[in-house]
């Protein structure tokens, strides 16, 4: 039992919650009577003979409970209550007005001023104890609430600090992920290759890249790891190492020949090797889709594998468009897979677009997704007005202009563009 909530025969036990009481009255006799009762009950008693004196005491030594006469010269009880409520104190002081007033308008006026309770003069000892008992309950609840608020504030401050640390790490992770695509455009033989990557968060699961093991050889890929966020980003970082443009000996798409040069493996073999790497990793549940192209930019011939990725879009020089590929299983989903070997020959002016489903599945203002038709439209518009990496960025801009809230991009958006035979050939035959 909490003795502070039941003054009973031993109200002095209330000191745990209401220990300091301020009595305010311009009558010395009333102060003496109140002081005698409260001291007998074990309270620390403070006295003030005016509102201004009481206000100064409250500034220096905030009481737990104030008993104040209503009618006093200079500053009455109502104004004192208003002034006390305006003080910047952490704790709450329970305010009881002592008055002979009992009209409803007077009570409402007192409540508006911030008073908690009223006592009719002359004060009855039993009623006073009951009112202090009620005040102790309110003060106890207020202090418990204040403590909970303090704990919540501390927890919020700690969470804010943790969030800031995580956010800092994620910003650094974004920088690292962007470094996985060190080149956004490159001219190889008579063609131009451009890359674009826009994660929907700090980091994402999309990856685009290229590598050129010879003067007219090109490896180009677009990858989308399942899920979003840190886990997907870690998988993309790992896959980027498997298809490194900086360290060809580590690139599974390349095979060293005669200790002199690297030849390109077939895309179907690359798909199978990458599948073996991911499927063999214990505890890794993520899988990825991929469109990978191995091209001879001298002849325009290319071979491609489509592993569950959206079908690449081919735009011929005369503006005709078609989607290439028939699907295939994603990589890392099952242990044993096989892929179709897709072959085609490009003509000068042809453009091949590899892209993630962040484009086609983007939700527009109408509530519908962009879809394949929408992709063809923005690709055609951008290709007609720009070239190189500007084509991809213009496509991204056109996409965001059609979205209801571009800030709430639901998926990463990435693309790789091959413009065949569109630049002067700077490489000797």
Residue 209, burial from CB neighbour count under 10 angstroms (0-12, 13-18, 19+) = buried
DSSP string, 70-127: S--SSS-HHHHHHHHHTS--SS--EEEEEES---HHHHHHHHHHT--EEEESSPPHHH
Q: What is the mean pLDDT of the chain?
A: 87
Mean pLDDT of 392-404: 94
Instruction: Tell me which architecture the domain covering 182-419 has in CATH.
Output: 4-Layer Sandwich (3.60)
Say yes or no: do domains 3-149 and 182-419 share a fold.
no
Whether 2 shows a pLDDT value over 70: the answer reads no
What's residue 226's pLDDT?
Answer: 86
The confidence band for 410, taking pLDDT boundaries of 50, 70 and 90, is confident
- The residues near 362 (Cβ < 8 Å, ≥ 6 apart) are 369, 370, 399, 402, 403, 409, 410, 411, 413
Token representation of residue 342? 């897709």
- 3-149 CATH, one of 3.40.50.2300, 3.40.50.150, 1.10.10.410, 3.20.20.80: 3.40.50.2300
Banded pLDDT at 227 (limits 50, 70, 90): confident
Which of 137-141, 232-236, 424-428 is least confident? 424-428
Q: What is the pLDDT of residue 406?
A: 79
pLDDT at 427: 42
User: For the chain, what are the domain ranges?
Assistant: 3-149, 182-419
Query: What is the CB neighbour count within 10 angstroms for residue 123?
Result: 16
Residues 6+ positions from 169 with CB-CB distance below 8 Å: none
CA distance linking residue 235 with residue 177, whole number of Å: 11
Q: What is the pLDDT of residues 95-151, one digit of tens each?
A: 999 887 666 777 888 888 889 898 888 888 899 999 899 888 888 888 888 889 889
DSSP label at residue 403: B
192-222 pLDDT, tens digit per residue, is 999 999 888 766 788 999 999 988 999 999 9
Residue 314 in this model has a pLDDT that exceeds 90? yes
Asked if 188 contacts 403 with a C-beta cutoff of 8 angstroms, the reply is no
């Amino acid at each position: 039992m909490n003795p502070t909530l039941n003054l009973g025969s031993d109200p002095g036990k209330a000191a745990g919650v209401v220990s300091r009481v301020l009595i305010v009255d311009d009558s010395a006799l009333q102060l003496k009577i109140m002081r005698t009762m409260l001291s007998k009950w074990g309270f620390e008693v403070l006295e003030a003979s005016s509102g201004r004196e009481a206000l100064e005491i409250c500034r220096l030594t905030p009481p737990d409970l104030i008993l104040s006469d209503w009618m006093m010269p200079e500053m009455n009880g109502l104004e004192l209550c208003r002034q006390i409520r305006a003080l910047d104190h952490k704790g709450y002081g329970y305010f009881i007005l002592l008055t002979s007033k009992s009209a409803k308008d007077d009570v409402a006026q007192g409540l508006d001023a911030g008073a908690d309770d009223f006592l009719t003069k002359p004060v009855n000892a039993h009623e006073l104890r009951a009112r202090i008992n009620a005040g102790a309950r309110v003060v106890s609840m207020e202090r418990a609430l204040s403590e909970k608020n303090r704990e919540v504030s501390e927890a919020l401050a700690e969470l804010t600090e943790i969030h800031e640390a995580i956010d800092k790490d994620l910003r650094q992770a974004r920088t690292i992920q962007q470094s996985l695509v060190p080149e956004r455009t490159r001219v190889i033989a008579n063609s131009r290759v451009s890359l674009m990557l826009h994660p929907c968060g700090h980091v994402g699961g999309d990856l685009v890249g290229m590598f050129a093991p010879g003067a007219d050889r090109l490896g180009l890929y677009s990858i989308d790891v399942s899920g979003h966020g840190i886990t997907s980003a870690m998988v993309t970082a790992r896959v980027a190492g498997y298809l490194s443009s900086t360290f060809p000996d580590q690139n599974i798409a390349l095979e060293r020949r005669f200790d002199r040069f690297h030849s390109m493996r077939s895309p179907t073999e690359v798909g199978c090797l990458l599948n073996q790497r991911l499927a063999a990793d214990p505890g890794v549940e993520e899988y990825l889709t991929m469109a990978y192209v191995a091209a001879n930019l001298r002849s325009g011939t290319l071979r491609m594998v489509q592993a569950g990725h959206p079908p690449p879009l081919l735009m011929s020089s005369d503006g005709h468009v078609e989607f290439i590929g028939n699907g295939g299983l994603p990589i890392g989903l099952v242990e044993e897979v096989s892929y179709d070997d897709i072959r085609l020959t490009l003509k000068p002016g042809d453009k091949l677009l590899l892209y993630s489903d962040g484009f086609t599945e983007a939700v527009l203002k109408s509530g519908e997704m962009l879809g394949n038709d929408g992709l063809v439209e923005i690709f055609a518009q951008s290709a007609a007005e720009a070239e190189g990496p500007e084509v991809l960025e213009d496509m991204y801009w056109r996409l965001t202009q059609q979205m209801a809230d571009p800030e709430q991009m639901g998926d990463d958006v990435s693309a790789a563009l091959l413009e065949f035979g569109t630049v002067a050939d700077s490489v000797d035959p």
